Amino acid sequence: MARSDRLYKRCYNDTLDLLNSGQSFRSVSDLANRLDVSRNTARRVIEALQDHEIIRPDGTNWHLIQSPSAQDYFAADAILTTDESIEAAFMEKVLAGRFDKNHRFSETALAKEFGVSNSAVREFLLRMSRFEFIKKEPQKSWILEGFSKKYAEDLHEVRSMFELRAIEKLILLPDDHRFWPMLHRMHTEHLKFVEQYKTNFNDFPALDSRFHRLLNDAADNRFFSSFQDAITLIFHYHFRWNKSDEKERNLVAAKEHLRIIEALLLKREDEALEALKVHLSSAKATLNASVNRSANTFE
């Protein structure tokens, strides 16, 4: 998919979020500024919304005809960047149990399977290798490595530092920032998951990844965002070794997310920080238990 088409679809979804949260825009330039895109992209989004009878012109403003529904959004995989699509595909392979510790794989084979270039896969794997979860070998080969309980503790410590700071930054965002409509949609997605968790519990790793990525991306720190790739993969890789209470564990985590989201929407910083601390503590306990059970653990 061309980058311009992917950008348009992402901006279209972001505009639906904005409208669903009760916000509006005064002009093409106003929407372009809110989404941080060109006027041409903003104009294309507005024209599509008019064609779909979601908005109509009202003087110098646009009037909402009907609230957007889930069916009006482009699918999540249609707006992923190349890096995000590689991460999602790689995580799906790992979580499906197709990779075990010491499993060797080829970047060429992955590129062919994922439908992307070898260089794109190599760049992703090189980023992941900084966290010593995978290791490069000769002739474009790689090996998946496990990690110890000490590694898990170090990972939790850094994650806590980044995400607690992210909460402090998010509280300060202005009311018209694009983060807030996106957080409203995240709230809706979590409520839907809680309602259907018994049958959709396998959807949680992707939901968890989107939630934490939203927080870190909106905090606007390049190190936060790059760290999220490793966090998602490493945590859920080890979670999969304990299937005994997976449904209930995912439900608890989703409810913990909801408490964080609701505190953020109310801009109650102390409540959001406390809710995040509880969530991180739960994640740490689950990770430690999974590492102890996993045959992939090494000391």
Does this model's pTM top 0.85? My answer is no
The pLDDT value recorded for residue 79 is 79
Give DSSP secondary structure letters for 194-219. Answer: HHHHHHHGGGHHHHHHHHHHHHHHHT
The pLDDT value recorded for residue 198 is 84
For the chain, what are the domain ranges? 3-76, 81-144, 149-293
The pLDDT value recorded for residue 165 is 92
The number of helix segments (H) and strand segments (E) in the chain equals 12, 5
> What CATH architecture is 81-144?
Orthogonal Bundle (1.10)
Place of tokens 């439900």: 251
> What CATH architecture is 3-76?
Orthogonal Bundle (1.10)
Is the pLDDT assigned to residue 293 strictly greater than 80?
Answer: no
Confidence of residue 291 (pLDDT cuts 50, 70, 90): low
Place of tokens 């990844």: 209
Domain 81-144 matches domain 149-293 at the CATH topology level: no
Instruction: Give the dihedral of Cα atoms 187, 192, 194, 198; nearest 10 deg.
Output: -150
Let me know: does 15 contact 79? Beta carbons within 8 Å. no
| Stretch 237-253: mean pLDDT | 71
The helix (H) or strand (E) run that includes residue 290 is: helix 269-293
3-class SS of residue 267: coil
Higher pLDDT, 225 or 82: 82
* Integer Cα distance of 190 and 181 in angstroms: 14
Q: Which of 29, 75, 67 is nearest to 49 (CA)?
A: 67
- Which strands, in side-by-side order, build the sheet including 134-137? 104-106, 141-144, 134-137
- State pLDDT tens for residues 172-230: 999 888 899 999 989 999 999 999 888 888 788 888 888 988 888 888 777 777 677 66
- State pLDDT tens for residues 138-160: 888 899 876 667 777 788 888 89
CATH 1.20.120.530 holds for 149-293: yes
Amino acid identity, residue 56? R
Confidence of residue 127 (pLDDT cuts 50, 70, 90): confident
* Integer Cα distance of 69 and 246 in angstroms: 30
